[in-house]
Amino acid sequence: VRRVRSWLLGGLRRMLELSAKGPFVQGIVVCGKRLCGRRLASRCLPPRDVRAKPVGCSEVHVFMSPQIPMNLFHEESYVVAWRRKDEAGDAWREQVPSASEVQGKGARLRIFVGKLPEQRPLLFRLCSENARGRSAWSEEAAVETFAVPSEDGGLWGPLGPAAGGGANGA
């Protein structure tokens, strides 16, 4: 019974996704959004699979998968919060990324976060928000920004194992 139920729900979901791309349904969605405002949106769920990757001395890309409900009227934006890993408590700094800083569609999104401290271990978390409020925060993702190059092309800060004769320091 469960297998048949999941097969039927999967088929219905695929049918709805395909029909939602048609011009008739898109017209209904546009009219519904204009007439009802954002009251037809669903509650937001926290993003999942949050990962961070340094791309510069003070820039990080944060990757995540949104949990978007099957509601054609649902719209959401995202809030990125970061703090130094060694800071405790509620020292989170929140940023609302612009549309140009959020890239990708569907199952995987990338958010650009800049103006971060150089060569510091940082923690990131995300939440989604819309007219119905904010979601809970996602799990935290840890990353360390890169060091600033020195005048002679080297890096300031601690050297890695390749420069010191191996991991044992010999």
Strand-pair category, 121-130 with 141-144: antiparallel
Alpha helices in 21-115 (DSSP H): 23-36
CA-CA distance, 167 to 31, in Å (whole number)?
A: 63
pLDDT of residue 134: 95
Sign of the Cα torsion 91, 97, 103, 106 reads positive
pLDDT of residue 123: 96
pLDDT of residue 170: 46
For 138-159, the pLDDT digits (tens) are 999 999 998 877 776 665 555 5
Q: pLDDT tens digits for the chain (170 residues)?
A: 788 888 887 777 777 766 666 777 777 777 777 777 667 778 999 999 999 999 988 999 999 999 988 777 788 899 999 999 988 777 899 999 998 999 987 789 999 999 999 989 999 999 999 888 999 999 999 999 988 777 766 655 555 555 554 445 44
pTM for the full predicted model: 0.71
pLDDT of residue 20: 65
Q: Which of 124, 120, 122 is nearest to 156 (CA)?
A: 120
Q: Is 58 left (phi over 0), alpha (psi -120 to 50) or beta?
A: alpha
pLDDT of residue 27: 76
